[in-house]
Amino acid sequence: MQTKNEVLVNAEHRQPVLVQHFQNVIENNELAHAYLFTGATGSGKEELAMWIAMRLFCRNVQDGQPCGVCDECTRIAAHEHPDVLIVEPDGNSIKVDQVRFLKAEFTKSGVEGNQKIFIIAGAETMTASAANSLLKFLEEPSGSINAFLLASNPNLLLPTVISRTQEVEMQPLAAGELQQQFIDAGVPQHLLPLVTRLTHSPAEATDWLTDDWLGQAATSMWQWLSQLLKPDLMAFPTVATALMPLAKDRSRQRTLLDIMVAGLRDALLENIHEENFTASFPSHSKEVTDLTNGYTKNQLVEITDLGLQSKQLLERNVSFQNVMESLTLKVFDVLSPSK
Ligand SMILES: [Zn+2]
């Protein structure tokens, strides 16, 4: 659970423009009844909704900003405020009982006319009955209740829900902020450039860190790449012994191919002495330069293309091992001295 200051700090860091926007909206008394906040995991949807809640409840608002330390702010940040309820998926979905509980809490507690807020995280996971139950709630006209539905994938929401809310899309994170989120998620420094190239989701990066999968994937893929560029026939057994154990499912196989393409991109850009590029494997830059020294730009463009095409092969259900072995053969052909 986040502490009070963290919620405010994160809201202001991740969505500075929207924080300013809602500050004005509240000052002008124009807050809508129901909002749908959309944006990737980690984009600050929940923090922004909680910032608004604190702004509405805070006892020491200064210059339009909640203080973050009064009793109201503290209880909101700790998810303990009786008039600010946060619902999250119970397992894989938000169930009708959770929406009923929310409605019951709001009907019984507090004096009529009091400000109340509810936040539904993962709103796209609402079951149909939960969504229908919520719809009735949203239709009841009440100036004192504000609803915030948060969704990473709004395409999964019922159109009837979307039509009753005002959609606000989170702004893309600044590169520095994204890096900080990856660091907070535990991504080691040397893998940051690669991870930033592969995903914008700290949750996905965290998943890759389980059992050091990402570290091993980067090491094994680099081993294969260095053998590929030599070219060294050991690249074939490396596919079977080092890469196959990491290619557990389709999603991991796709990520492995993305890592491979990132490595080939390094090779191409090092080779043409591109100055302003961020290498995905910065610790191997010197080796990449040495390995690609004797090749032409055309050869490296061609093998980068082959790398990209191999991603399409995987989507056509060619097995990961076949994709990698046939890529190895084709690249050897491009890099052979007769060319
Ligand atoms: Zn406060």
Q: For position 38, what pLDDT does the model report?
A: 93
Instruction: Report the alpha-carbon distance of residue 156 to residue 21 in Å, rounded.
Output: 27
Query: Is the per-residue pLDDT at 1 higher than 90?
Result: no
More confident residue, 146 or 276: 146
Give the three-class secondary structure for 116. Answer: strand
Residue 5 has pLDDT above 70, yes or no: no
Q: In angstroms, rounded to a whole number, what is the distance separating the alpha carbons of residues 273 and 275?
A: 6
| Cα 184 to ligand 1 centroid, rounded to whole Å | 26
| Average pLDDT, integer, range 151-170 | 87
* Confidence (pLDDT) at 2: 42
pLDDT surpassing 80 at residue 233: yes
The pLDDT score that the predictor gives to residue 338 is 63
Instruction: Indicate if the pLDDT at residue 84 is higher than 70.
Output: yes
> What is the per-residue pLDDT across 49-71, written as a single tens digit (0 to 9) for each?
999 999 999 999 998 999 999 99
As a whole number of angstroms, the distance between CA 308 and CA 167 comes to 36
Q: Answer whether 161's CB lies under 8 Å from 135's CB.
A: yes
Ion ligand 1: protein residues whose beta carbon lies under 5 Å: 58, 66-67, 70, 73
Residue 62 DSSP SS3? strand
- 178 contact partners, CB below 8 Å, separation of at least 6: 196, 200
Residue 164 in this model has a pLDDT that exceeds 90: no
What is the structure's pLDDT at 274?
77
Percent of the chain with pLDDT over 70: 95
Q: What is the pLDDT of residue 141?
A: 56
Separation of 37 CA from ligand 1 center, angstroms?
23
With contact defined as beta carbons under 8 Å apart, do 150 and 49 qualify?
yes
> For the chain, what is the mean pLDDT?
89
Measured in angstroms, how far is the CA atom of residue 64 from the centroid of ligand 1?
A: 11
Confidence bin at 163 (pLDDT 50/70/90): confident
Domains, the chain, in order of start with CATH, read 4-172 (3.40.50.300), 176-335 (1.20.272)
Task: Dump pLDDT digits (tens) for 126-153.
Answer: 988 999 888 887 777 555 789 999 998 8
Q: Which residues, in sequence order, are bridge partners of residue 93?
A: 90
Ligand 1 centre from 66 Cα, in Å? Answer: 5
Provide the pLDDT for residue 231. 93
Least confident of 141-145, 197-201, 310-314, 323-327: 141-145
Q: Ligand 1: distance of its center to the CA of 12 in Å?
A: 15
Determine the distance separating the centroid of ligand 1 and the alpha carbon of 81, expressed in angstroms.
12
Report how far ligand 1's centroid is from the alpha carbon of 118 (Å): 18
159 pLDDT above the threshold of 60: yes
**Mean pLDDT of all residues in 96-116:** 76
Distance 166 CA to ligand 1 centre (A): 26
What per-residue confidence (pLDDT) applies to 143? 55
- pLDDT tier for residue 110 given thresholds of 50, 70 and 90: low
Which whole number is the average pLDDT over 199-209? 88
Pick from 283, 303, 286, 309: nearest CA to 228? 303
**What confidence score (pLDDT) does residue 210 get?**
94
Residue range 211-217: mean pLDDT, rounded = 96
Residue 4 binned pLDDT confidence (cut-offs 50, 70, 90): very low
Between 19-28, 137-146, 158-167, 241-250, the lowest mean confidence (pLDDT) is in 137-146
Given a cut of 90, whether residue 16 has pLDDT beyond it is no
- What would the pLDDT profile of 296-320 be if each residue is shown by its tens digit? 999 999 999 999 999 889 988 899 9
